């Protein structure tokens, strides 16, 4: 099976040798010509996957409520308010958030500048259309560092899973970096290189895992987390990071490709399948803590949404609606917040960080 990008990747390997997983991951998603986010329409029924904001307006409404709550807890600042989203997809989350913010906190809505950080020119175009009614408020940036300074309220939904990771495989001589190379049939194949990893970076206690065990390290994710934590420390604010992943650093190969709602071999359709890996929230929290901001907590998405009142909001949305619409609303809540296969409530986590220290619902009181 070849794609335009697989030919390009094979040529790179022929010329320069094997690629690290992180380079392969980055090319698949961001190659200027054939990269997944540059060329494809990933979202929705006709795309490859559906994200929480695309399931129901309730999701963005809950995050809007959370942002208003955070702003109030920070003492309702009014100057240089930056409402930031990194990786806004189709812009649906921001649209639903802005509607709620304008209703609940008109002063915040008036004061806030909306800054979207998006690497894909094509998706910026989609976001521009979605957010047309707010066009005077919205500006775009290619990197978080370019966002103007000021008090920051930030959300990132399914961003970190799309930032590349490195992988290391346990061998008889220790963990070695996993690579993508060409096999005897000239097809893309995994291989093991010579680069090792500082054992201090492995989850404790290392050493007992069988050969073949994979460990994922994400310096590029750490760098984004570091930048946004620094911003909060210097200018104040709160960030909510939402993604699928684990609250505890561990071993395991979580590199996954998804094509038209089915799992795919990560080497089979470069540029045509979405490529991600699970997010290590313990590691992100460590980075933020080292910067000196407060970790409000990390909750499962279901606990976060129920804690913010999604059930009550769904009931009021369903009131006076025909029965089949009521059923759709209930199904959306179950998919977003419920537990088990195909539902997001357990697998997805919400990490909130703030500076200076504020107590935010529904995170547990910091004692």
Nearer Cβ to ligand SAH (141/251): 141
Q: Are the CB atoms for 21 and 165 separated by under 8 Å?
A: yes
218 forms part of the interface with ligand SAH (CB under 6 A): no
63 forms part of the interface with ligand SAH (CB under 6 A): no
Length of the chain: 367
Nearer Cβ to ligand SAH (18/245): 245
Q: How far is residue 242 from each of residues 85, 102, 191, 264, measured CA to CA in Å?
A: 12, 23, 32, 24
The stretch near ligand SAH (CB under 6 A) out of 51-59, 249-257, 301-309, 336-344 is 51-59
Neighbours of 146 (CB within 10 A): 11
- In the shown chain, the binding pattern of residues 124 to 163 toward ligand SAH, with x for contact by CB under 6 A and - for none, equals ---------------------------------xxx--xx
Q: What is the DSSP letter of 175?
A: E
Pairwise CA distance, residues 256 & 151, whole Å = 36
Q: How far is residue 296 from each of residues 190, 237, 318, measured CA to CA in Å?
A: 39, 12, 32
Nearer Cβ to ligand SAH (155/217): 155
Residue 298, phi then psi, degrees to nearest 5: -130, 120
**C-alpha torsion angle, residues 310, 117, 241, 73 (rounded to 10):** -70
64 forms part of the interface with ligand SAH (CB under 6 A): no
| Residues forming beta bridges with residue 83, ordered by sequence position | 114, 153
Among 18, 88, 150, 297, contact with ligand SAH (rule: CB under 6 A) = 88
56 forms part of the interface with ligand SAH (CB under 6 A): no
Shortest gap between Cβ of 34 and ligand SAH (angstroms)?
Answer: 15
Among 18, 35, 60, 89, contact with ligand SAH (rule: CB under 6 A) = 89
Of 156-175, binders to ligand SAH (CB under 6 A) are: 157-159, 162-163
Residues that bind ligand SAH (CB under 6 A): 37, 51, 53-54, 86-89, 93, 117-120, 123, 157-159, 162-163
């Amino acid at each position: 099976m070849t794609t335009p990008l697989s030919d390009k990747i094979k040529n790179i390997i022929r010329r320069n040798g094997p690629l690290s997983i992180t380079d392969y991951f980055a090319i698949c998603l961001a190659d200027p010509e054939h990269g997944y986010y540059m060329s494809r329409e990933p979202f929705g029924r006709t795309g490859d996957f559906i994200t929480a904001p695309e399931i129901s307006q309730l999701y963005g409404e809950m995050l809007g409520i959370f942002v208003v709550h955070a702003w109030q807890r920070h003492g309702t600042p009014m100057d240089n308010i930056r409402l930031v989203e990194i990786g806004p997809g189709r812009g649906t989350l921001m649209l639903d958030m802005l509607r709620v913010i304008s209703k609940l906190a008109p002063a915040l809505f008036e004061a806030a500048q909306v800054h979207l950080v998006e690497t894909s020119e094509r998706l910026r175009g989609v976001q521009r259309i979605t957010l047309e009614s707010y066009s005077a408020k919205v500006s775009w940036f290619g990197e978080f560092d370019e966002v103007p300074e000021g008090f920051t309220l930030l959300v990132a939904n399914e961003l970190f899973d799309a930032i590349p990771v490195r992988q290391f495989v346990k061998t008889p001589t220790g963990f070695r970096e996993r690579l993508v190379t060409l096999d005897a049939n000239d097809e893309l194949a995994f291989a093991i290189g010579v680069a090792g990893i500082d054992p201090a970076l492995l989850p404790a206690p290392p050493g007992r895992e069988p050969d073949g065990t994979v460990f994922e390290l994400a310096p590029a994710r750490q760098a984004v987390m570091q930048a946004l934590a620094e911003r909060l420390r210097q200018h104040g604010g709160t960030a909510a990071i939402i993604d699928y992943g684990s609250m505890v650093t561990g071993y395991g190969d979580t590199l996954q490709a998804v094509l038209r709602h089915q799992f795919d071999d990560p080497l089979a359709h470069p540029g045509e399948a979405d490529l991600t890996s699970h997010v290590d929230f313990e590691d992100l929290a460590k980075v933020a803590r080292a910067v000196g901001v407060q970790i409000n907590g990390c909750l499962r998405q279901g606990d976060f949404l129920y804690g913010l009142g999604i059930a009550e909001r769904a009931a009021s949305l369903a009131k006076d609606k025909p029965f089949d619409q009521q059923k759709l609303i209930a199904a959306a809540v179950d998919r977003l917040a419920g537990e088990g296969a195909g539902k997001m409530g357990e697998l997805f986590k919400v990490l909130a960080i703030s500076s200076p220290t504020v107590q935010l619902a529904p995170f547990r009181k910091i004692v």
